């Protein structure tokens, strides 16, 4: 959370989006299994060779259904979380 909220505000996400995505981030972090799956998916996404993008999108859809969250919000969360990893690369 130390990264995602300031990052979203810096790039002018609407307040409602910041609240929605950060709330989903908390939900992911609170569920150990969901968190582990999500973090692994972020790693797979960041190592994408162009062949796994469909895999990642299908997994996001699967996790959204499994954990009763919005698929598009979960996808945006993945992109926001991965943006921090890009700063390191």
Domain ranges of the chain: 4-88
- The pLDDT score that the predictor gives to residue 47 is 85
Two structure tokens written together for 87:
């700063």
Euclidean distance between CA atoms 40 and 88, whole angstroms: 17
Stretches in the chain below the pLDDT threshold 50: none
- The pLDDT score that the predictor gives to residue 2 is 84
- The pLDDT score that the predictor gives to residue 54 is 84
- pTM, to two decimals: 0.89
- The pLDDT score that the predictor gives to residue 86 is 80
């Amino acid at each position: 959370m130390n990264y995602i909220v300031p990052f979203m505000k810096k790039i002018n996400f609407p307040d409602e989006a910041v609240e929605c995505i950060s709330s989903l981030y908390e939900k992911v972090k609170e569920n150990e299994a969901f968190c582990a799956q999500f973090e692994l998916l972020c790693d797979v996404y960041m190592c994408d060779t162009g062949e796994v993008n469909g895999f990642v999108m299908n997994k996001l859809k699967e996790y959204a259904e499994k954990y009763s969250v919005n698929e598009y919000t979960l996808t945006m969360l993945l992109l926001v979380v991965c943006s921090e990893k890009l700063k390191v690369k």
